Amino acid sequence: MPRLRAPLDPLPRAVRWLLLIVGSLLLSALLLRARLPAALLLGPMLAAIALEAAGGGVHLPRTLLYVGQSVIGCMIARALTPQILVIFAARWPILLAVIVAVVAAASAIGALLSRWRVLPGTTAVWGMAPGAASAMVFMAGEFGADTRLVAFMQYLRVVLVATFATVVARLWVGAHAPAAPVDWFPALHALPFAQTAAIALLGGVLGRIARLPAGVFLAPMVLGALLHSAGVVQLELPPWLLALSYAFVGWSIGLGFTRDILAHAVRALPQTLGAILALMAFAGGLACVLVEGFGVDPLTAYLATSPGGADSVAIIAASSRVDVSFVMALQTIRFVFLLIAGPAISRFVASRIAPRSGVSGSPHGRTAATLAHVREDEGELD
């Protein structure tokens, strides 16, 4: 059957790249103006999805994706400070119980979506994982999930949770002050910037050589966290570099949304929304337990248990009258817990759903559609 002519077919590849870049800038600016979380990633991702739906023909060099992953690993490393361990040591029973409860609820909901074949394989488990969204997307592809659908679930949840948390915070403490304008090109400090670049490069190479799951992201994160916490290096990440890194990751995700995958995401939207709202309701119940049983103030409890991205929750917490240290300790340790436990949870769910859905229990198993897409990409990029 002949392929239907797509709107972008007559255009040269350079023009398609120009459309992608301009579309990414416009969408990112609109999302930033609306104060939506992860705007710098969502804008490029949405622009790439639109371009792919119109005919695509643009392929991101894998090196640029690795650069984006390494830089984002350094960004998260900067937030993993020793102060978090101090707070955890003082209140570890409460924090650990809440973390395990939220992760267990998210995993159970994801397993049900997998069992009901709403999404293929372990995709729903990684999509519901309440950690840093970008990290979960990076790791998901290594453990049997379709990263495009994982990204769809993760960023939909981040937007919903952050929007609801913002509304709650504003009702609780009143209107926020206007956000300070971002200095996109600040003066660079040569030594910290060079140290950050070296950690990103060295960590990324080590992650590739060691063939760790999501190693290009995880190795710079671990190396950077250790050296930064020990005071050996300072991590400097100017906004323009973070924006580029988010764009590379967003393009990589968005360009993978073929029309079939996009149609699958739309069909699964009602069930996905229901699952996210159920997880938000469960986290809200845990917040009530913290308020009634342990004397945590309501807004602090709500933000600490919210199953959204730690970065967006941090922004909301910083502009509210809450215990920011408690909020970030719970959010960050939950993220680390998921990095450790995520693969085991994925394997467990895969082994349970395999008899009904034919999903391999191997940590590197993928759905047939994902395998075909990966093989196609590798053939074009090599």
In CATH, what number is assigned to the domain containing residue 122?
A: 1.20.1530
Q: According to the model, what pLDDT value does residue 247 have?
A: 93
**Structural domains counted in the chain:** 1
Please count the helices (runs of H) and the strands (runs of E) in the chain: 16, 0
Considering 101-110, 164-173, 205-214, the range whose residues carry the highest mean pLDDT is 101-110
Q: According to the model, what pLDDT value does residue 57 have?
A: 77
**Tell me: the pLDDT tens digits for 361-377?**
433 333 333 333 333 33
Residue 100 covered by a domain: yes
Contacts of 277 (CB under 8 A, 6+ apart): 160
Mean pLDDT of the chain: 82
CB 67 within 8 A of CB 248: yes
Q: According to the model, what pLDDT value does residue 362 have?
A: 39
Q: According to the model, what pLDDT value does residue 172 have?
A: 65
Q: For residue 140, what are the domain limits?
A: 26-53+61-175+192-367
CB 247 within 8 A of CB 96: no
The pLDDT confidence band at residue 262, using thresholds 50, 70 and 90, is confident
Residue 170 covered by a domain: yes
Q: According to the model, what pLDDT value does residue 87 have?
A: 84
User: 323: left (phi > 0), else alpha (psi -120 to 50), else beta?
Assistant: beta
**Tell me: the pLDDT tens digits for 88-118?**
888 888 889 999 999 999 999 999 998 888 9
The lowest-confidence range among 12-21, 98-107, 318-327, 367-376 is 367-376
Q: According to the model, what pLDDT value does residue 86 have?
A: 86
Average pLDDT over every residue of 53-75: 89
> In angstroms, rounded to a whole number, what is the distance separating the alpha carbons of residues 330 and 221?
19
- Identify the three-state secondary structure at position 69: helix
Residue (of 240, 241, 157, 239) closest to 197 by Cα position: 241
Task: Specify the amino acid at residue 238.
Answer: P
Average pLDDT over every residue of 344-349: 84
- In this predicted structure, the answer to whether residue 379 has a pLDDT above a threshold of 80 is no
- In this predicted structure, the answer to whether residue 14 has a pLDDT above a threshold of 60 is yes
Q: Tokens 């309701």 map to which residue?
A: 281
CA 39 to chain centre: 12
Residue 17 covered by a domain: no
The pLDDT confidence band at residue 204, using thresholds 50, 70 and 90, is very high
What percent of the chain has pLDDT above 90?
A: 34
Its pTM stands at 0.75
Q: Kindly list the distances between the CA atom of residue 7 and the CA atoms of 44, 120, 244, in Å, as whole numbers in the listed order.
A: 20, 30, 27
Task: Specify the amino acid at residue 192.
Answer: P
CA-based radius of gyration for the chain: 20
Q: According to the model, what pLDDT value does residue 63 have?
A: 93
The pLDDT confidence band at residue 178, using thresholds 50, 70 and 90, is low
Output 5 or 218, whichever has higher pLDDT: 218
> In angstroms, rounded to a whole number, what is the distance separating the alpha carbons of residues 39 and 41?
5
Residue 49 covered by a domain: yes
Residue 378 covered by a domain: no
- In this predicted structure, the answer to whether residue 201 has a pLDDT above a threshold of 80 is yes
- In this predicted structure, the answer to whether residue 353 has a pLDDT above a threshold of 60 is yes
Residue 72 covered by a domain: yes
Residue 301 covered by a domain: yes
Q: Kindly list the distances between the CA atom of residue 106 and the CA atoms of 26, 101, 129, 131, in Å, as whole numbers in the listed order.
A: 34, 9, 6, 10
Q: According to the model, what pLDDT value does residue 369 have?
A: 39
Average pLDDT over every residue of 215-229: 90
Q: According to the model, what pLDDT value does residue 360 have?
A: 42
CB 210 within 8 A of CB 202: no
End-to-end CA distance of the chain: 28
**Tell me: the pLDDT tens digits for 140-165?**
877 778 888 998 998 888 888 877 87
Residue 200 covered by a domain: yes
**Tell me: the pLDDT tens digits for 240-250?**
999 999 899 88
